[in-house]
Structure 1
Amino acid sequence: MAQNNLPSSEASFARWWRQVLFVPMLNSKWLTAEVKARLTAKVTEAEQGHRGEVFLVIENHLPIQEAYSTNCRERAIDLFSEYRVWDTEENTGVLVYVNICEHKLEIVADRGISAHVSPTVWRAMCDKAVTGIANKKSEESLTDLLDEIGQLLRQYYHLEHDPAGNELSDTVVFLK
């Protein structure tokens, strides 16, 4: 869902306060080392059989110094750039960004796959995962989302014999 003419987010004192008052120990208990390992394995699995790349970032809260002026969508786009998800050979990188404090999930897809998948489809996938996370099914929701992304990438960038090459790390990035 990378878009060139995104409106800049409005400054939000309330958003900034949510980040300042966020207590990770109370809100991200579900994200254990075992869950991170299973999600990393799921990213690897989601990348089988196609030429796309999937990258998962989970963040407790927006960086305090940016929270007043940056929303989750803008943060996801920044991370898409920072982790060079855009730098895949066929422009088929997909970043999944989860912000625990804001209860938000964003998908940023490079132009190669975005040419085939409408923003409405990506938004529906995000909304479904956010609903599951809100219902205390965080791991299951993210697992299902990664499966769906893998299926979309297989549909448009299928490989008969997957050479198991990786342009990006499959390891879940957790930003505290």
Structure 2
Amino acid sequence: MAQNNSSQASFARWWRQVLFVPMLHRKWLTLELKARLTAKVTEAERRHRGEVFLVIENHLPIQSAYHLDSRARAVELFSEYRVWDTEENTGILVYLNVCEKSLDIVADRGISTHVSPTVWRAMCDKAVSGIANQKTEDSLTDLLDELGQLLRQYYHLENNPSGNELSDTVIFLK
């Protein structure tokens, strides 16, 4: 989802990150849930040439939280994890920031030519709504299913490809 990558400086955002207590929020992301989400990423990548990459972060890095919002952080991670580095530019990064209660999708230029920014935003809003209703796992798995269907629509393969360009393992940044 291409958007302006500049963030508004925010002292309030910085304070939220400083005061965020990960121990109070870690309970929901168990090893079992992380394994289920990783399996769901693998499933979402079947029968198409796209790549889905899921990053969950407790809070923004304190040293940059004043200047960096969740969207800018998602773009930063898209680059850091080289989600853009797929043969057909079909990488999609899903970024969940627990402290900010935000979810962003950053899609590479190949898939973005087929999908409008309003569709990406609607997918994010639907997932965030479910997360706000304490249905985090269901919301994330539904979103991953939707992304898989979307990628199959534009990059369908009859047989599952032998290569996987990006890891399916969910990344959890504390």
Corresponding residue for residue 138 of structure 2: 140
Corresponding residue for residue 101 of structure 2: 103
Does 1:33 pair with 2:37? no
Corresponding residue for residue 58 of structure 1: 56
TM-score, normalised via structure 2 length: 0.98
TM-score, normalised via structure 1 length: 0.97
* Cα distance in 1, alignment partners of residues 96 and 117 from structure 2: 18
Corresponding residue for residue 2 of structure 1: 2
| Alignment check: 8 A CA contact 1:2 1:77 kept | no
Which of structure 1's runs of 4+ aligned residues deviate more than 6 A? none
Where does 1:156-167 land on structure 2 (aligned, <5 Å)?
156-167=154-165
SS of 1:174's partner is strand
The gaps in structure 1 that reach 5 residues or longer are: none
> Root-mean-square deviation (CA), in Å?
0.8
* Cα distance in 2, alignment partners of residues 15 and 92 from structure 1: 32
Corresponding residue for residue 20 of structure 1: 18
Corresponding residue for residue 69 of structure 1: 67
| Cα offset, 1:8, TM superposition | 1.5
* Cα distance in 2, alignment partners of residues 156 and 10 from structure 1: 35
Does 1:125 pair with 2:126? no
SS of 1:28's partner is helix
* Cα distance in 2, alignment partners of residues 114 and 40 from structure 1: 24
| Alignment check: 8 A CA contact 2:48 2:161 kept | no
| Cα offset, 1:2, TM superposition | 3.0
| Cα offset, 1:163, TM superposition | 2.2
* Cα distance in 2, alignment partners of residues 172 and 75 from structure 1: 17
* Cα distance in 1, alignment partners of residues 154 and 111 from structure 2: 8
